[in-house]
Structures are given as structure tokens and as C-alpha cells.
Structure 1
Amino acid sequence: MTHKARKRFGQNFLHDPGIIQRIIDAIAPHPDDNLVEIGPGQGAITRELLRRCGALQVVELDRDLIGPLADSCATLGELTIHNADALKFDFTALASPELPLRVVGNLPYNISTPLLFHLLSQAAQINDMHFMLQKEVVERMAAGPGSKTYGRLSVMLQAKCRVTPLFLIGPGAFNPPPKVDSAFVRLEPFSEPPLAIEDQVLFAQLVAQAFSQRRKTLRNSLRNWLTAGQIEAASVDPTTRPEQLSLEAFVALANLACKAERPPQ
């Protein structure tokens, strides 16, 4: 398949057979899986998934890749191609209670964070997700409090998913090689979240507000939400900065903000 990678689509095509095999082994696909791949590109993972499963759905934005991809997979199984923008795609339409989704993909680095949030909003219909991402993004996803990489993405993902970094992937595994290292990660949405969040929208807003001013203390960054006294009532020091705050503490603050009277503006 001859295709020049397009920078505007963030295309870096995987070609290393050893890495492809490690990815397939980590996913461990089965014939009864409801698998969907985001950004199949030239089909390096697609063909191996089809060989294992017999059926696969893919979401591909680049129309020029669709014909060659269909041709290269024609004898391997049933491939359904959705020519769509994954950031706008309704993944829940592909799922059912009996067949939750397993989502895989080599995610374009330029849209990886908004795409993760888009998928997070549909996590109730997803069994697991396996992604190749920029190494720094995976580090942010799995980071704990006190880490320089801990932030909004860490808190929001860990509130809904178990995050497991699996292995690193060097630039040479791709064509063209990216200027950064990559990593492969597994996300498993909780069937029963370990922490009860009373208002998901408010929780997301509060976390975003806290990290939008991450060098400020909670007393200042959350002043429109909670007073210093209310923050202390949640057993949190109001002089703490957001990157020091655990997921449990963010949940406690958000749940308190659901009930508390907003401070005067």
C-alpha cells in the first residue's frame, strides 16, 4: 500500500512486526469480541486483528486509505469501515449490552487527549481500550499526586478506569518515525467505580478549574466553588496545590460542592 503520511491527520504508520505482535498479544482478541479500531491507517494491526477475530469495525478519517485497506483485508474476514472523525463518532452505536466494545488504536498525537475524553464519556459501553500514544501522554494518564505529570487527564481517567501502561515503543517502529517515544497502554472502565461521584459534570468542571490554575492553592483556584472552611470540612488543606491532591480528595470536594452554598462573588 503506497500512501504518503499526512501531517494534518497525525499519521505515523506502524510497521515493526515485533511490536505488532506484542500489541496483538496484549489485546488478546477473541472471535466473539466486539472490536473497533480507531485510525487503522495502512492496516498493520487491522490485518492481525481480523485473522484472530474474523470481524472488525474501524473508524478512519482519511478517505484515500479506505480502498487500499479494504483490498488488503478482503480475504481475512469481515471488515466494516466507518469513514468518520473519531472525535465526533458515536461509539455507543456499535455496542450492545451483550457485546460491549473493545477499542484499540494508534491514536494521532495531535488529538489524543480530546479523543480520550470523548471515549471517556462513552465508557459505560466499553469493556477495555488499548492505545498507542505519545509516552508523555501515557505518563500523564497513569501519574499519581505529587508527580509533575499529574493533572486533569490523570484524575478524570483514573476516576473511571484502571490505567495500565504496558510497554514503550521507539520511533523506528513507525513510518515516518515520530520525534517522540510512544507507549502502549490499557484502560479498563470500572463496572462499579471505586469512588461515588454525585455529579459527574460538576466533578469534571471542578477538576478542570483546579488544574487551569495549577500553581495556585485550592483556596484561590476553587474560590468560586468552595470557601477555605468548606475545603477544610472535606479534610483537605486549602493551601494545597491541585497537583498534590489525591483522586479521593477531588471526589470529596466535588461531592461537597454539590450540596454546599456557593461563596459570594
Structure 2
Amino acid sequence: MSDIERPELTDAPARKALGQHFLFDPSILHRAALAAGPVKDRVVIEVGPGPGGLTRALLDEGAGTVIAVETDPRFAEALTLWPAARDGRLIVVQKDARKVNFEKLVNEAGATQPAMIIANLPYNVGTPLLVGWLKAGDWRGEMALMFQKEVAERICAAPDTDHYGRLAVLAQSATRPYISFTLPPGAFSPPPKVDSAVAVLEPLPADQRFQHIDQLEQITGAAFGQRRKMMRAALKPFAKKRGMKAEEWLQSVDIDPTARAETLTQDDFRRLAASLA
């Protein structure tokens, strides 16, 4: 993007109710734009572009089309005035991201390969958006998502570690997640109360992805909802609703009924979920 075409970022204050914390440092923004790999000629989804710092970095790095989903009309309307919006490289969708049909947007943008999702996510919607994207079909490719550091650690955690839980099991059923880099509160305006981190989630090969994430979500919710209990106790209400005895069900898929959720592996949870599919 030439300096003549280079748009100015929108000057408007962050709104706490929308979980907004903005990044302005160009070096950080370009690092985030490329955290999941080259964006050149790719369709990229960005949620919560705000003033447009990351949007501009994505366009600078050669993204073919950036689909910017922004619920705040102050920023959405300003982005529609950018040269890239006029020439079709920037598609602005003013809507709550939780109500967006992303697959439809990607298809309408004419994507020839899976779309990347790169975003400094608003803190109050990051986790539900991620869970929805994990369930997505082949339209969704690599993701680089800015979260609170603790959330990023939960996504990437291994079994039997402090941060391991439902989110790690779900994320690792469809992707290989890792933390690319972390940022202190002072990198943002206004500064949040905690550190942040960019989590990169690389799609697993098709033959390694788990196909029953809805069932996995239900089981992990029950298992980690009472994580200090043994699995036979934690899953007892869940199993009872389905006319099963928790201990017999666990034994049938080679899981020790006295184990606790945080010690179970991805394969253990997959066997449990697959038994319900």
C-alpha cells in the first residue's frame, strides 16, 4: 500500500463495554499479521478491527481480501471510507461477530483456499468465537488470535498442567496451538489489567481432526466443571441423563473411573465423545 493510499487510523476512544483495547505499534501489528504465516493473496477475517491498525498491517502485507467484522459503528463506518474498501480488498461487516455466518462471507469473497483468521479479539467474546471456529469446516484455515495471556495458556496447555482444561481439549481436537508471543498491558490503549498473548492455531491434517466436537464440548464441560472430582463422580449426572452408569461407560472406553479430568489425554476424551456420536 503506497503512502498516498495509506489511510489514517480512526481516532475514537475505546469502550469498556465492548472489551476494546487497541494496539498502535506498527512493529507489533505487523508481527501479529504474520504470526500464522504469510497472508499474501489470502482471504483474512479480522474481528474487532477498531481503529484499523491490524487491518492496515494485513493490507500492507498483501492480503488479497480482508473481511473486517466490527460491531462499533464509529469504526465500521470509518473503515468503509478507506481506499481498500472502495477497491474491494477490504469488506466491512458491521455486526456482532457472534451472529455472523463466516462461511458465507468467505464464499462470497471468492476464497480459493481456507481463510485465515487474524484478530486482536475483544476480551468479552474471544472464547465463544474460538469454539465456533474450531467447529468450522474446510473454509477455515490458520488462526492467529490475541487473547488474555491466561486464556492463550489454557488453549495450549498439556494434560496434567495447571492451565489444562476444556478449552485445551477442544482446541487440540482440531488444531495445533502454540503461543507466538506475549505483550504487557502497556502495549495497549487503554492498558488492560493483564498480559496478552497471540495464540497461533494451525489446522490439523484432515485425518487427525476429531469430527465430533459438539459431543466433546458437552463431555469436557461436565468433566472440568467439577475437576477435583473423580471422573465417575464428575460425569455421573451427565451419564444419568443418557441412561448410562458413569463407571461402566468409562470402563467401556478404557478410562479409569477414578482418574480426574486434568489427567486425561486428547485421545481419552476423543474415545468418550466418539462413544456418544
Mark yes or no: TM-score above 0.5.
Answer: yes
The equivalent residue for 1:93 is: 104
Q: Secondary structure at the match of 2:28?
A: helix
Is 1:107 the equivalent of 2:121?
yes
**Distance in 1 of aligned mates of 2:65 and 2:252:** 53
Q: How does 1:57-206 map to 2 (within 5 A)?
A: 57-71=67-81, 73-74=82-83, 78-96=89-107, 98-194=112-208, 196-197=210-211, 199-206=212-219
Instruction: Flag structure 1 segments of 5+ consecutive residues without an equivalent.
Output: 259-265
> Relative to structure 2, which stretch is displaced further, 1-10 or 13-22?
13-22
Stretches of structure 2 lacking an aligned partner (at least 5 in a row): 1-9, 240-244
Letter of the 2:93 partner, please give it: H
What is the deviation of 1:257? 4.2
Q: Which residue of 2 aligns with 1:239?
A: 258
RMSD, matched Cα: 2.0
Counting matched residue pairs gives 256
What is the distance in 2 between the residues matched to 1:43 and 1:193? 37
CA distance in 2, matches of 1:183, 1:123: 26
Match of 1:219 among 232, 249, 271: 232
C-alpha deviation, 1:196, in angstroms: 5.0
Q: How many percent of aligned residue pairs carry the same amino acid?
A: 38
Q: Answer with 173-182 or 204-213: which moved more.
A: 204-213
Q: Which runs of 4+ in 1 moved over 3 A?
A: 27-31
Distance in 1 (CA, whole Å) between partners of 2:218 and 2:36 is 33
Cα 1:54–1:248, aligned 2, differ >3 Å: closer, same or farther? Answer: closer
Deviates most, 19-28 or 54-63: 19-28
Structure 1 residue identity aligned to 2:190:
P
The corresponding residue for 2:4 is none
Normalised by the length of structure 2, the TM-score is 0.85
Separation in structure 2 between the aligned mates of residue 50 and residue 252 of structure 1, nearest angstrom: 43
Distance 1:68 1:117 in 2: 30
For 2:210 and 2:23, the matched residues in 1 are separated by 39
Aligned twin of 1:39: 48
Q: 3-state DSSP class of the match of 2:97?
A: coil
CA distance in 1 between counterparts of 2:230 and 2:208 reads 27
- Structure 1 CA distance, aligned partners of 2:202 and 2:137? 9
TM-aligned CA deviation for residue 195 of structure 1: 5.8
Shift of 1:240: 0.8
User: What's the TM-score, normalizing by structure 1?
Assistant: 0.89
Which stretch of structure 1 is more off in the superposition, 23-32 or 149-158?
A: 23-32
Q: Note the C-alpha offset of 1:121.
A: 2.4
In 2, Cα distance between equivalents of 1:74 and 1:195: 39
- Which has the larger displacement, 143-152 or 116-125? 116-125
Closer, same or farther in 2 for the Cα pair 1:27/1:146, shift >3 Å? closer
